[in-house]
A and B are shown apart, each in its own frame.
Chain A
């Protein structure tokens, strides 16, 4: 547990509202981007993140330090994002990269073609590979932490990341 998380947990013990505010200051933004990369649409990301933090707020007393605070927060947020995608499953295109075009909203910057291509490449991957890649590439988390967040083994997290990276490189080449 790092110093920042210790301070958050201490604040939560002393004054739940202040502790929760600190927790959100630390994690709302990275968690929002993590969820946004999965669901694409800003409003969906906002809903899933809000739901995740409300769950965290309601169950913070049950946090048992069996994992890092960040792992716990990311795990709940990931679960909410996947739950939202599951609800949308029937309306989403089967081709993953098509999700980007279908879900892109006013808060999507189409001008950056490389960045669009990368997101399409990521969204074309199976879900486990998306998660492993995003958490490693963008959030720079270790494989063990990725494994704890996603429920994979550490070896599987590593393998999924490397498969994902290779596929993304190939996708970018093919769609140049």
Chain B
């Protein structure tokens, strides 16, 4: 038997207690992108305000020579969750 076989899989390392559980919690606390978000009241308020701002922009830009530029800029300024919310809220056919 070689020395290596005698040592086997022993390692000179220890693992602080609870560190893997804490690691698991930290990983699970990160959310996958693209998954639906549960909004608190403030989230709905922010999204609502964003929707109103977009509607206002839409109305004020619709008669300008190039209405889409400002509209798209305003829409682009929203984060992806608010964009999704706005798209759900606006009745485009009746604008």
Residues of A within 8 A of B (CB): 16-17, 20-21, 24-25, 28-29, 32-33, 36-37, 40, 42, 46, 49-50, 53-54, 57-58, 60-61, 107-110, 112, 114-119, 137-138, 165, 168-169, 172-173, 176
Q: What does the 1/0 interface line of B5-21 toward A look like (CB < 8 Å)?
A: 01101111111100110
Q: Is the CB of A42 within 8 A of B11?
A: no
Cross-chain contact of B4 among A37, A54, A116, A169 (Cβ < 8 A): A169
Q: How far is A36 from B14 in the complex, measured between Cα atoms in Å? A: 10
Enumerate chain B residues within 8 angstroms of A58, measured Cβ to Cβ. 30, 32-33
Cross-chain contact of A118 among B7, B16, B24, B35 (Cβ < 8 A): B7
Given contacts A165-B4, A169-B4, A172-B4, contact A109 B26 (CB under 8 A): no
Residues of B in contact, count (CB < 8 Å): 24
Residues of B within 8 A of A (CB): 2-4, 6-7, 9-16, 19-20, 23-24, 26-28, 30, 32-33, 35
Q: Is the CB of B7 within 8 A of A114?
A: yes
Q: Is the CB of A24 within 8 A of B13?
A: no
- Most chain-B CB neighbours within 10 Å: which of A25, A60, A115? A115
Nearest chain B CB to A171 CB, angstrom units: 9
Q: Is the CB of B11 within 8 A of A33?
A: yes
Q: Is the CB of B13 within 8 A of A107?
A: yes
Q: How far is A29 from B22 in the complex, measured between Cα atoms in Å? A: 12
Given contacts A28-B20, A42-B16, contact A57 B30 (CB under 8 A): yes
What would 8 A/B residue contacts be, using CB atoms closer than 8 Å?
A20-B28, A33-B13, A57-B30, A108-B14, A117-B7, A118-B7, A168-B4, A172-B7
Q: Is the CB of B4 within 8 A of A118?
A: yes
Residue of B nearest to A176 (CB): B3
Q: Is the CB of A108 within 8 A of B13?
A: yes
Residue of A nearest to B34 (CB): A61
Q: Is the CB of B19 within 8 A of A119?
A: no
Q: Is the CB of B7 within 8 A of A42?
A: no
Q: Is the CB of A53 within 8 A of B27?
A: yes
Enumerate chain A residues within 8 angstroms of B19, measured Cβ to Cβ. 42, 46
Enumerate chain A residues within 8 angstroms of B6, measured Cβ to Cβ. 114
Q: How far is A6 from B7 in the complex, measured between Cα atoms in Å? A: 35
